[in-house]
Chain A
Amino acid sequence: MTPGIPKHIEELLTAHRRSFLKTAGMLAVGFAADATALLAQNPAPSANAAQYTDPDFHQLDSWIVIHQNNTATFYVGKTDCGQGTGTGFRQLMSDELDIAYDATTCIMGSSDITVDQGGSGGSTAMERDAWPMRRVAAEARRVLLEMGSARLGVALDQLAVSNAVITVKSAPSKRVTYGELIGGQKFNVTLTGNNVNMVGGIAKTKPVTEYKITGQSPQRYDIPPKVDGSLKWAVDVRPPGMVHARNVKPPYVGAKLTNIDESSVRNLPGFIKVVSKGNYVAVVCEREEQAIAAQKALKTTWQKPATAPFPPSEDLFKYMRAATPTSTGRPRVTGNPDQAFAGAAKVIEAEYEIPFQGHTAISGAHATADPSNGQMTIYSNDMKSYGMRNGVAQFLGMPRDKVRVVWMEGPQGYGRTAADDAGFEAAYIAKEIGRPVRIQWMRNEETAWDTKGPAFTVKIRGGLDANGNLVAYDYNARSLDYNHVGYNEPDSVLIAQLMGVRRDRPAAGSAAMADDMYAIPHRRMSTEVVSLPLIWETPLRTGNLRDPNGPQSTFAAESFIDELAAAAKLDSFEFRMKLLQGESTDDSGFKRARSIAALKAVADVFGWDARPSPKAGGKGNILTGRGVSYTFRGQSVIAQMAEVEVNRQTGHVYVKRLACAYDCGLVVNPESLRHTAECAMLHGLSRALHEEVQFDNEKVTSVDWITHPSLRHADVPEKLDVVLVNGDPKPDRPDLAPYGGGEAAMKPTIATVANAIYDATGVRIRRAPFRAPRVLAALKAARV
């Protein structure tokens, strides 16, 4: 049996945990067998209306429980979107606590039993949020050693500890286990630190060199229950008396609801109620298929807006170029770019376009809300469950301590579940009708109305000197990101917008600059944000999509570096290496040195053939080529190479090989990180080849997997290589920090593929995605 606690007993642990904190409980539930028995005894939430108070991050007991059977449960304020972060936390905390990995479990992300670390987002799991966990586990070990010293009557320096057993160094038979010292009891130790990120104790964390479990690849504990069907997901929660709701969205964007004809559904089987306020409409029925039928059958009348909410997607970039910016970022300037351009031997210029791309989770937004006892429990896969708890409490006007979010697993949304609409909707309807409600968005609703990664246009100009050196650079990115949706904001979440209880002030949004360590003596980078005509109650609302803005800016920046290399008739890999080895002294975080190491490593594994692009002499229908690109995200460095086949007759692009070298600093679980990088690269490939939101001037027309296509099995490269570089110049330095691993690996993929297509065909495609008709048109225009 896997020692990990499957999520389906999390609810049990919720109940157990609360009683533990109250009574310093004597139960030692750590493992599935015990827990399942308890679950059977107590399947429903407690009828006793307890307050959902915040676990105190200053209490060691909020983080770690040692059980009588000498096992430990870690409670962390994070959620796992599928990258195995829970396993990583267990590895780090087990190392610090000196306990076997298999003797631990990890509970995550439920607002009333785990401290608020914000849930997940921004690839911060290992980089930032594992630090308090490490310090707290180290502190627990220190406290246990002191207790052991008192129990055994031996000075601290005479003790050794391993696998949760403290022994006297000179007489190893004298021993006491953690479980014997404190099993089932509270530590009652107060921690220090001004906020949850700074929490710690007296103990110091171990140097990396003393870690035994960290750096190994234990299998992810969440995988077996995902494979055998035993995992209880957020979609599987069914409180007694639960009913089903479905939304009825406006058929035209910006439309005003003028009438609901309830008689159209009143006689449908299982019909309970139409819930509506402002332009928000939902139907509630006893059974799920009944709610879906009522959603289709409900007759509503809407008044179209006087002006179009947005231009049709084919005119999007024309619209963006003509728009007046809503904000302009402060430019970043090095040297004197204007003067350098004036003196350049050759100036080239290009503009790149990337459309709205959807989050399009594999299943629609969903949540179940239970309003029993005047409280509100929301079962949700929101990656920021704590934010949902706060947001829903405000939205409903309920005290925070009456509202909790129980985090459970769900379809990965890459940022979408941080702007989760369904939790608010379920809670609102549950409060209205006084029964537990499950809501789920249908496919067309999710694909059309989920949050979008913003569309970008990026103009870049570069000046080369007579020797092909890049001496002047001017980058300007324009992003359609005005009114970017925040996380669980009660006044910007979609239901609040539709109800007309939204804020007045839109979020400013942002664009992004190029992230590279190139030594370019004269450089200017600037950003602008533009807006669509309609910014509220629109499905073209932007939100954080995995590596927000990174793939867009990097597509442009790294395509352009390739264009410069081609203009200088130099190999594109060598061109980059030369730029990285320039004379700048700026090398914060060893990022320049690590950039060089990553590029070298990917060239090694890929077998880069150095020559200028494009490749000459391609014959037959299939043209082949290779491309490179590189960037960083925060402190993580990523270099990629791809080999492509372009079908001259059809325009179809197949990426045959994709390789990356990834430097995320300290690697906690190499196998897990490799897998995450593989999948992130393929997510990037999906955005490079397929993903694009299309719309006419009254609605989004991308509504399913045909009209917003995604990568498929047939698109998968024959070979994927991930090299974990750890290119830190001091790889054994004891304080080597982990950097973010979840997002950076996808960041350069669109550019890598674009550069490989150029190498294969000599045609530069500056508009993503590279769908076959677009590529074919470009090839034909260039007479390839």
Chain B
Amino acid sequence: MSKITLKVNGSTHTVDVEPATPLLYILRNDIGLQGPRFGCGLGQCGACTVIINGQAIRSCITPVSSVKNEVTTLEGIFTNGKLHPVQQAWIDEQVPQCGFCQNGQIMTAKAMLDKIPNPTDTQIRETMNNTLCRCMTYYRVQTAIKRAAKTIAENKQAGRKGVAA
């Protein structure tokens, strides 16, 4: 066991664990987060996705000792106390069925939109392709991503206008 310090969603946590422990179990069992979930433990499905350094990362296969930068989870993407536009788009499009995988869908989509603000259909399909949903909500996930991209662009535009005014 060794002491490891992590920054998660703006807060600092120190845990005493085996360094090889996957980040997922620390986030869930030590820090008490519920967004990232165990789906496969193999990095195949995406249910455990968090964002580190702008990248969507599979926390189930990421040793906690390898994490050097701040971890953002589903609970940490609120901005100014409001839902992130991706989350809002998920509600507007009524995306989830059971919802268990949606952490992975949302976090992977958010990381993509941060890098590619206006993705093509092909980019969406390619980027999201390894994020699985057994309820098969894919069609609405893709629709919601486009809606979120639009909202983010509009917010930026409004922000610029605000500054100009």
Contacts and interface: CB of A to CB of B under 8 A. Distances in A.
Nearest to B64: A289
Given A228-B74, A363-B40, 7 more contacts: A83-B97, A228-B75, A229-B35, A363-B47, A409-B100, A443-B39, A712-B138
A227 B132 contact: no
A230 B124 CA distance: 27
Nearest to B36: A229
B67 to A, nearest CB: 15
A236 B37 CA distance: 9
Contacts of B137: 675, 679
Contacts of B22: 289
B99 A226 contact: yes
Contacts of B141: 713
Contacts of A269: 1, 18
Given A220-B94, A231-B99, A411-B98, A360 B139 contact: no
Interface in A414-444: 440, 442-443
Interface of A: 81-83, 219-220, 222-224, 226-233, 235-236, 238, 269, 287-289, 292, 360-364, 409-412, 440, 442-443, 671-672, 675-676, 678-680, 682-683, 685-686, 704-706, 710-718, 720
Given A82-B96, A289-B25, A713-B125, A227 B83 contact: yes
Main SS at interface, chain A: loop
A712 B46 CA distance: 12
A232 B32 CA distance: 11
Interface-central residue, B29, B73, B130, by most chain A CB under 10 Å = B29
A679 B38 contact: no
B112 to A, nearest CB: 11
A771 B149 CA distance: 34
Interface stretch (B51-59, B101-109, B157-165): B101-109
Contacts of B125: 713-714, 716
For the complex of A and B, 9 pairs with smallest distance between CB atoms = A82-B98, A226-B99, A82-B97, A682-B136, A412-B98, A229-B35, A411-B100, A229-B74, A443-B40
Nearest to B26: A289
A671 B135 contact: no
A235 B38 contact: yes
Contacts of B132: 362, 705, 710, 712
Main SS at interface, chain B: loop
B135 A229 contact: no
A362 B41 contact: no
Contact of B134 (A360, A443, A676, A713): A360
A713 B100 contact: no
B101 A362 contact: yes
Interface residues on B, range: 35 or more
Contact of A706 (B1, B25, B44, B133): B44
Contacts of B47: 362-363
Contact of A363 (B39, B75, B94, B142): B39
A713 B29 contact: no
A716 B96 contact: no
B91 A223 contact: yes
A713 B128 contact: yes
B103 to A, nearest CB: 7
B69 to A, nearest CB: 20
Interface string B106-149: 10000000000000010011101111111111111110000000
A83 B73 CA distance: 26
Nearest to B9: A229
A705 B43 CA distance: 10
A230 B33 CA distance: 9
Interface-central residue, A233, A672, A712, by most chain B CB under 10 Å = A712
B87 A228 contact: yes
Contacts of A287: 17, 25, 29
B82 to A, nearest CB: 10
Nearest to A713: B128
A226 B136 contact: no
Contacts of B126: 714
B43 to A, nearest CB: 10
Interface-central residue, B74, B78, B121, B134, by most chain A CB under 10 Å = B134
Contacts of A678: 136, 139-140
A685 B100 CA distance: 21
A388 to B, nearest CB: 18
Nearest to B97: A82
B4 interface: no
A16 B71 CA distance: 37
A715 B141 CA distance: 13
